[in-house]
Structure 1
Amino acid sequence: MFASSSAALMLLLLGTPATARTCPPPGAMEGRCIELTADQTEEVSEVQLSPGQPTTFHFDSDVRADGVTLEDREHFEVASGSQLLTLEPSERLRGAQPGRLRVCFADGEAPGCASFRLLFHPVMGERRVEVFRHPRTMDSVQAELKKMREENARLRAENEKLRMERDRPDGLKGLLSSGMVGRSGMPSQSLIGSITLRESNTLRPRSVMTFRAPGRVAIESFLQNMDAARAWTLQGAKLVGPKGEVLDATFFPAEPIPPGEERQVWIEVMAPEAQTGGPFTLKLWEADGQRTFVMGNVTFPDFPVVEGR
């Protein structure tokens, strides 16, 4: 049935595989053009066929010999090669419901397969469909999926934390009901007389207070920017324990400290009491990473022993 085009078909089958290409602007090439990317594995492209008329799919990647699945295959004339697949629907498919074609590639990269929804039109069939694939190794896809799962887990944890906080009352009622403040208040202590500082620090602490609540500790400090020309913009914070253990911290506020001025800064760490014995070294770093603030001998108060209720 395809004798008239057999010579051209053999030339195409013997050609070298094409490198990854992109579809040209509409009208710049004959026929239809479809691009496949690794993040479109669930996308199904529609292709229109006409009974009695051949439609040729030209892939820029080799197709597995056993990688073609075609619904109602008995009603098609099929010619296939490493990168070509020609389908000619029989007259029995005139007016039929849409069918499905699935093609899987031989290199093991993503996207591994492509799906097409076949529509049948009496005369308006597409004669040629170019399929350009932008493959990625499965390792890179798995690494990205792992990163996405970790990010989703982090966002779910943050969402659960926000939901729990939303469900608590505000003000003192919220502090008391959450257990963060008990009958004896929140344990706190001043450290301004016992901390150690690096000579290279461009921030000077005017006061340092530490606090403890169930499952968290906090540091309140009034920090003065000693640079007379540049603002100091805090980007990150962490506590480093006596054995090198690192506790990630959050901070507030995020506004820059203007040159020569002083700001109240809060640092908070979510961690069990067993992990916050200290002494710790507090490390703050600036947005551009060039300036840091390091304060040593940071400790947190113990919970008081409350007798009776």
Structure 2
Amino acid sequence: MRRKREDLWPHGTCYGLHRLLGGCLPVLLVSRSLLLLSLLLPGTNATAQEPSRGRELMQRRVTLSRAAVGNPVELHVASGSLTALEFDSPVDRAGVKLGDARDRFELFVVNDRWVMLKPTGDVATGERILLTVPFADGMSPPRAVFMLVSNATQVDAQVQVSRLPRTAEAVQAELDEVRAACAGKDAELEALRARSAATGPSGMILARAMDVEGVNAKDLQVGAVVKPSDGLKVERLIAFRGTGWVALSLAITNEGAAPWTPTEARLSSTRGGRSRAMVAMREPHIAPGGKALVVVEARGEDWPEKAALRVELRDSTGARRLFISSLVF
């Protein structure tokens, strides 16, 4: 099939390695059909890509308003992760600007309704990169401004940007999504209430967390599966499994120079599936050179036996984390 030359038109200034070599690497302006096709190709699918250093891939909706003109929308980007912005209005492709940092992006593609970018490295803490996207229809607001920053826990993989007045059907669809999410939280709240009504074996039975299968426990060989990271070392690891839940008991030594307080945990299967987990510890933190018992508990997932799990524990800032790439029990 032949395609008109207008469908692929280079635009932009020279940047990156090509600038140093005297050449020019243009910003590609591609047709919508080719862009949508590229999203289905391995390595460029925004929703199927692997999280960058344990970050969670997020899908967001952003609504622009006249009152918000001049206030940049914060956008979380990460090294090696593709971020795709979809607009409900035509983009003025020639006017799209990416500050002075184009040479730090291995991919920067502009289309009539899309902007796609992939940084070669993380944005430094405190650094702000502005992305300005003007619109071609002359309506208000005339442009969208995004502030590209780094986030320790999340990266925006797909962002839907709404500028035009939303239809009643679109608002109702979003309301249905919120109601469904609230219904899931209500179920979690009821489970927590059932657990708090009684403790010990009685509480587990009432919460249907223990049945005739009982609780299976396994003392894992730590040295073979857990390597020290960020000055954190696991001395002993015991895995517990019951109906609809798993728990890990980790004896952790802090070999770093600063105290460490784990506040967030995630369990994910190498076959797919991810679950936020609760973190429990008696001590307020693990002092330098100190040791403490940390329990990680995940509910609502029937993790298959012998399935390889990734385990991640991190503090509130995300600066230090304990990561287990493959844990089988």
Larger radius of gyration: 1
- TM-score normalised by length of structure 2: 0.42
